[in-house]
Amino acid sequence: MYSNSIKIFSGNSHVELAKLVARRIGIELGKVVVLKYSNQETCVTIGESVRDEDVFIIQSGCGEINDNLMELLIMINACKTASARRITAVIPCFPYARQDKKDKSRAPITAKLVANMLIVAGANHVITMDLHASQIQGFFNVPVDNLYSEPSMLKYIKTEIPDWKNSIIVSPDAGGAKRATAIADRLNLDFALIHKERKKANEVSRMVLVGDVRGKVAILVDDMADTCGTLALAASTLKENGALKVYAIVAHGILSGKAIDVINESSLERVVVTNTIPHEDKKSICPKLQTIDISGTLAEAIRRTHNGESVSFLFSHAPE
């Protein structure tokens, strides 16, 4: 029977998010078994027909990142060889996105390698969220929709942060200035910047604040929180400069290593992350951690892609 309906499959990286997306679209997740043999090889079995269907595979770049990437590639290839009409890789947090340029001699551009692997596996389209560098879209020769969590962040600030009109948006480094100024403009607020001076990689020696935060609520905005050292140091710098409270709103909460201890010991009031990466287990040991649900944005992007509608509406609006 010809139908060309949506089929959504999920890898093992973030099944909860995939369930939320499927529920919003109003369908069940497709049947798929992903397991590992005793020699650590990944085996994928697609449990239903995908012939001539519009297939979406949801897999985030987190946790066992290499295993999850391999899972995604094998699932894409399994659907390709099973005659799927179109295969879209939905990657909420793109793996290896920080390795996007040759910043020193003999450095690999791994993000480009990942793009090549996805295309060779058989992906016809990629939907991702808050790429570390938007130029990564140019690594693909298939369409890439880079969605933004910014509308959801704006909604959170307006509804969950009391006295947000007396706040100032702060970027913890020069690289994130563009993102932070965009949010400051949309909220009609002031903007400040923190300049990092590094002695060596992953170790910030001191921070210099550019802008006046005295007597204001500071909202730190960044695309990624990994070890959270930068956020904690930025929060104490802002407090020293007279900020009343410091919130942090981050797109991808990787929260690796000692991140939870760093957050708990820091002067941050709250750390708000989206659910592109699972962190429910961490919330039980970190009361400061809160979540913005972006499953609505992903579900709407999938629905619009399937129906051939424009996705650009989602760049400035968060679905209800």
Q: What is the pLDDT of residues 192-217, one digit of tens each?
A: 999 877 666 666 667 889 999 999 99
Question: What pLDDT is recorded for position 231?
Answer: 92
* CB contact set of 100 (below 8 Å; sequence gap of 6+): 109, 111, 112, 132, 133, 135, 136
Q: How many residues does the chain have?
A: 320
Return d(Cα 53, Cα 261) in angstroms, integer: 46
Question: What pLDDT is recorded for position 1?
Answer: 36
Of residues 227 and 114, the one with the higher pLDDT is 114
Backbone angles phi, psi at 234, to 5 degrees: -65, -40
Least confident of 148-157, 191-200, 282-291: 191-200
Closest residue by Cα to residue 209 from 228, 192, 197: 192
- Are 55 and 29 contacting, i.e. CB atoms less than 8 angstroms apart? no
Mean pLDDT of 181-194: 95
Closest residue by Cα to residue 72 from 89, 87, 53: 89
CA contacts within 13 A on the Cβ side of 245? 12
Task: Please report where in the chains the tokens 């933004």 appear, as a residue.
Answer: 148
pLDDT class for 320, splitting at 50, 70, 90? confident
Q: Which tokens belong to 170?
A: 């702060």
Percent of the chain with pLDDT over 70: 97
User: What is the residue-averaged pLDDT of the chain?
Assistant: 93
Beta strands of the chain (E only): which ranges?
6-10, 32-36, 42-46, 54-58, 86-91, 125-129, 144-147, 167-171, 190-200, 203-210, 217-225, 245-253, 270-274, 289-292
Q: Which tokens belong to 181?
A: 């100024």
Q: Is the pLDDT of residue 22 over 70?
A: yes
Percent of the chain with pLDDT over 90: 88
Closest residue by Cα to residue 129 from 304, 296, 310: 296
- Are 271 and 227 contacting, i.e. CB atoms less than 8 angstroms apart? no
* CB contact set of 178 (below 8 Å; sequence gap of 6+): none
* pLDDT (tens digit per residue) in 248-276: 999 999 999 899 999 999 999 999 999 99
* pLDDT (tens digit per residue) in 92-121: 999 999 999 998 899 999 999 999 999 999
Query: Angle at Cα 310 formed by Cα 317 and Cα 135, nearest 5°?
Result: 80
* CB contact set of 83 (below 8 Å; sequence gap of 6+): 50, 51, 52
* pLDDT (tens digit per residue) in 43-79: 999 999 999 999 999 999 999 999 999 999 999 999 9
- Are 258 and 280 contacting, i.e. CB atoms less than 8 angstroms apart? no
- Are 173 and 194 contacting, i.e. CB atoms less than 8 angstroms apart? yes
